[in-house]
A and B are shown apart, each in its own frame.
Chain A
Amino acid sequence: MTRTTPIAAAASAIAAAAALPAAFMLAAASAAAAQTFALAAPIAEKPAFVTTVGQSADIEMVKVLLERAAVPHTANAQAKAADLAASGAKTLIVVLGGSTKGLGAAGISVDAELDRARALLAEAKRLKLTVIGVHVGGEARRGQLSDRFIQAAVPACQYVVAVAEGDKDGFISRLCGTAIPIDKVERTSRAVEPLKRAFR
C-alpha cells in the first residue's frame, strides 16, 4: 500500500526539496493535471488485440491500463499473424521492449521475435487495423536488445504512448518523427488517459 497519490506526491516532493510556497506547488500540480495530448480526436476502434514486441512482462501493465481505460481486449504475448484476423479486433496494441528472460521463457530467438512482429504488423496493415505502440518499461526496457524491437515496431504505429523515462534520449520520439503522434507520461498509471482518448 502507498500513501502517495501521483500529483500530490510530486508536489509535496518538490516542495519539500525546494521549500517553495504551497500556493506555487498547487499551481504546479494543476499544471500537471492539465496535460495536453497529441491526438486531436480518437483514432482507434474497440476491441483491441494486445501482443508484445520483445516478450517483456510489461504486457501485464498494459492489460491493466486497457481495463482502466475501458477498452475491451484480448492478449496473447506470442500471437501469430493469423491470430489477429481470428480475434475480430479493430486495433492492435504492441507492447514495446525486449526481455531476455521473456524471450528465453517463450523459447523465441531475437530474430524469430522480429519476424513474428513484422508479420503481425503487416497483417494489421492488410486488415486496416489501427496500431498503437505502448512503451511502459522505462529506461530498463531500452538498450541494444529493446531498441531493435522498438525500431522495428514504431514506424508501423499510428500512435505511441510512452513513459517519459524510457525516452530520455529522444529515441522513440525520433522514430515517431512528425508523422506519428506520441504522448509521454511521467508514470505508467498516467497512460490510462491518453489510451482512453485514443479510442472512440
Chain B
Amino acid sequence: MPRPGACRRRPAIVSVPSAVAAALLLLLQARTPAQTPLNLYGRGASGANGVVAAAKPDASQAGIAILKMGGNAVDAAVATGFALGVLEPNASGIGGGGFMLIKLASMREAAVVDFRPTAPAAAAPDMFALDERGRPIGNASVEGGLASAVPGEVKGLLYALEHYGSGKLTRAQVIQPAVDWAERGIPVTANLAQIIKDNFAKLRKYEHGLAIYSVDGFPPEAGDTLVNTDLAATLRRIQAEGADAVYAGDIAARIVAEVRKRGGVLTLEDLATYQVKERKPVVGSYRGYTLIAAPPPSGGTHVLQLLNLAEQLGVAALPEQSAEAAHAWAEACKLVFADRTRYSADPDFVRVPVAGLVSKAYAKTLAALVRPDAVLPAPAPPGDPAKYESGSTTSYAVMDRDGNMVAVTKTINMFFGSGVVVPGTGIVMGDDMDDFEARPGSANSIQPGKRMLSSMSPTLVLDPQGRPFMALGSPGATRIIPTLAQVISNVVDRGMPIQAAINAPRLYQGRTGGVSIEGRYSINAYNGLVRLGHAVTVSPDYDPAYGGVHAVLLDREGKVLHGGADPRRDGQAAGY
C-alpha cells in the first residue's frame, strides 16, 4: 500500500486520435459557469496547530481565528458554520440544517449531532399534489412555503458548542466572524455571481431575497460586495439570546408568517419543539483504516458500503483511472444506490438495517454480482434523476493539534433553498421537504416530525493504529457518496496528497441511468466502459455537480495537518 501523502500521479488523459476521442475532447471543452474562472492554485493549506477546510476562504479563516483564540476544533467548526451561512448564503444557513461528526481526542467513540430539518407537524404523506409523472405540481417541494421544513441549524451548531466546545470561548465570540462579514459585506466571486444569475427568477419571485442578493435589482457581478445588515442583526440576537432568538419570539413569528404567506404549514410550535438528536456513528473500515460516518438519515452508511464493495472488488490493485477500476466503481455504485433507495430513511420512523448494509459479509455477496466483462442492469425503472440534482449544500472539516476532528455537512438544499426569505431577518428558508419521497408508501415518505433522507455524509478516518487521520465531507446530493469514497480511495489506495485526491477527476453512477465521468477522466477508461456496454456521459473538466470536498489530513511523520479544498467551487483551506 503506498504511503498516503506520497504523490505518484500520472497523466490523466492519453491521446487517442479517433472519432470518439475527438467527440470527447469537444465535450471536454464545454465549460460550466461555476468553473469560470477556474483557479487550481492556493486551495490547500497546512499547519502544525490546526487546519480548517471550507467552501469559502474567509470561512476557513474564521475557524482559524477561533483556534488561535484557544478554541478547540468544535469551537472552530461552529464559527465556520455560522460564517458559511453568511459567506455562502446559497448553500447553507439558519433556514437549513445538517450533520456534525465530532471525535475529540478525549472521546472513545465519535458523536453525531443531527440537526437535519424536520417535517412540520401539519405535513402529510400526500401534502404535495402530483402531476402525471409523480412530481409535485408547480415545483412545490422545491420552491415556496411548503418546501420548507423546520430548520435545525442554529440549535444544532449551538448544541455542539455547548456539549463539545472547549468552554473557553463564548457563544458571542464564535458567532462574531459571521456578524462581521454580514455587516462588512461578502465578496461576490465569479461562482456566487453565476449562482445568483442562475437563481435570479426565484429570487425575483420571492422578492425579499432579491433585495439582499442583487445590485440595482440585477444579479451582482464578481467583485461586488453584498452587505446583509438584517442577517447581522439576527446573528447578534443569537449571540445574546442563543437559539431562542430564532426558535421563539418575534423572529420565530416572522419566519412562520412568511412561510405560511408563501403557502407553507410551519407553526411556532414546530420551531419551539425542534430537537437536535445525538446519534451513534456508523463505523466500518477500508483496507485497515477505520471509517466513522454519520448514520441514517445521513448517507454515511452508504459511503462505508461503497468502500466495502471497492475493497471486495480490489479497486486498490487496479490501475488508476483504468476501465477496470471505473467499471468496478460504477457497478458498486448501482448496488449501493439500489439499497439506499430500498432501505434508508429516518431511523426514528423506519428500521434501517445499518449493521447489515455495512457488513463485510454482505459486501462479499454483492461483489459476487459484479462481473468484469458485463454490465449490471439498472436495478429499477427510470426514476426522476432531476430531483436529486441539487448541487447545493456545503461541507467543511477541522482538525487541531490536539487530535480533535470535526466534519460538518449542512444545507438549505437547492441553491437559495425555497426562495422564501424572511423579511427583516436575512434568513433564507431551505427546501429540504424535497428530499422526502413525494408519494406515500415509501420508507422515505413524508410524516410529521420525520427527517428526510439525506446524502450528506461527513466522515472521519482513523489510521490503521486507530489514530486521527482524516476528516472530510462534500456537498453534491447523491454524488456525495461516490465522491467521498473515491477521495478516500485516492488517499488510501493511490497515496495521493489530499489536494491531489480532491482535484482528481470523479465518476458517478446512480441507481439508474449511465455512468458520468468528469472531462479529465482517462480516455482509455472511457473507451473501456463503452466497450463493456456502459452508457457514458462526459461532464466538464471540473464539474461542481460532482461535489466540493473539503478535508483535513494529518501527516504524522511530518507532524503537520494538510487541508484540501475543492476547486470545483470556491473552496480554500487555512492553517496555522
Contact = CB atoms under 8 A, between A and B. Distances in A.
Contacts of A105: 386
A191 to B, nearest CB: 9
B221 A187 contact: yes
Interface in A51-96: 57-58, 60-61, 64, 68
B379 to A, nearest CB: 24
B170 interface: no
Contacts of B33: 99, 137, 140-141
Interface residues of A, number: 32
Contacts, number: 85
A143 B218 contact: no
Interface string B114-132: 0000000000000000000
Contact of A3 (B36, B219, B223, B225): B225
Interface string B198-240: 1111001000000110111111110111111100000000000
Given A139-B36, A143-B30, A144-B30, A57 B198 contact: yes
Contact of A137 (B197, B201, B218, B224): B197
A189 B215 contact: yes
A4 B224 contact: yes
A58 B217 CA distance: 14
Interface string A126-152: 000000000001111111110000000
B220 A60 contact: no
Nearest to A110: B30
Nearest to B198: A57
Nearest to A186: B221
A1 B218 contact: no
B194 interface: yes
Given A2-B224, A4-B224, A61 B215 contact: no
B215 A2 contact: yes
Interface in B143-197: 185, 190, 193-194, 197
A170 to B, nearest CB: 18
A2 B218 contact: no
B30 A3 contact: no
Nearest to A59: B201
Contacts of B197: 57-58, 61, 137, 140
Interface in A91-130: 99-101, 104-105
Given A1-B211, A60-B200, A140 B218 contact: no
Contact of B227 (A3, A6, A101, A140): A3
A187 B224 CA distance: 11
A73 to B, nearest CB: 16
A144 B197 CA distance: 20
**B185, B198, B227, B229: which has the most chain A beta carbons within 10 Å?**
B198
Interface residues of B, number: 36
Interface string B53-90: 00000000000000000000000000000000000000
Contacts of A145: 30-31
A188 interface: yes
A106 to B, nearest CB: 12
A187 B190 CA distance: 13
B219 A61 contact: yes
Contact of B32 (A6, A58, A100): A100
A188 B220 CA distance: 9
A2 B220 contact: yes
B394 to A, nearest CB: 20
A167 to B, nearest CB: 14
B23 interface: no
B225 A189 contact: no
B288 interface: no
A4 B32 CA distance: 28
A61 B200 contact: yes
Given A139-B36, A189-B215, A189-B217, A2 B225 contact: yes
**A61, A68, A99, A142: which has the most chain B beta carbons within 10 Å?**
A61
B29 interface: yes
B36 to A, nearest CB: 5
B37 interface: yes
Contact of A189 (B194, B218, B227): B218
Contacts of A143: 29-31, 36
B26 interface: yes
A13 B200 CA distance: 26
18 contacts: A1-B226, A1-B229, A2-B185, A2-B214, A2-B224, A2-B226, A2-B227, A3-B227, A6-B216, A57-B201, A60-B201, A64-B218, A140-B36, A140-B194, A144-B29, A144-B31, A145-B31, A165-B221
Given A57-B198, A143-B29, 9 more contacts: A2-B214, A2-B215, A3-B225, A138-B221, A139-B36, A140-B31, A141-B33, A143-B36, A188-B219
Interface of B: 26, 29-33, 36-37, 185, 190, 193-194, 197-201, 204, 211-212, 214-221, 223-229, 386
